[in-house]
Structures are given as C-alpha cells and as structure tokens.
C-alpha cells in the first residue's frame, strides 16, 4: 500500500510541476499580447509614418 501511495504522490507532483510550467507559459503569452495591443494602440495616425517606439516601449533612434 505504501508503494502505491508513493507512486501516486510522485504522479501528482509531476502533474503539479507541469501545471506550473503551463501557467508560466500562459502568463508570458498574455504579457506579450498586452504589449502588442499597447504598441498597436500607440501607432501614429499616418500608417506610413516611422514608429516612435519599439514594442518594448523604448524609443526608436
């Protein structure tokens, strides 16, 4: 019985580790999408004009 409990504990630990990795990836995707939306919102009115900032917010030189 103890061996089964150890096996179950190991499996649950692996599932939790994978869920933590997935959560981190989803958060990273959400952050990148937010940066893209903000960059698109800051675009100048003239579509042919040069951008003033990069997507990370730093100024274009």
List per-residue pLDDT tens for the chain, 61 residues long: 789 989 999 999 999 999 999 999 999 999 999 999 988 887 667 778 888 888 898 999 8
Q: Please give the pLDDT value at position 27.
A: 98
* Among candidate residues 60, 57, 30, the one with its CA nearest the CA of residue 41: 57
And the tokens for 28? Answer: 């990273």
- Residue spans per domain, the chain: 1-40+51-56
Q: Please give the pLDDT value at position 34.
A: 94
Q: Please give the pLDDT value at position 26.
A: 98
């Amino acid at each position: 019985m103890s061996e089964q409990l150890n096996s179950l504990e190991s499996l649950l630990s692996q599932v939790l580790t994978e869920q933590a990795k997935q959560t981190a990836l989803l958060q990273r995707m959400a952050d990148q999408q937010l940066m893209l939306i903000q960059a698109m919102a800051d675009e100048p009115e003239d579509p042919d004009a040069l951008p003033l900032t990069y997507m990370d917010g730093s100024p274009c030189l």
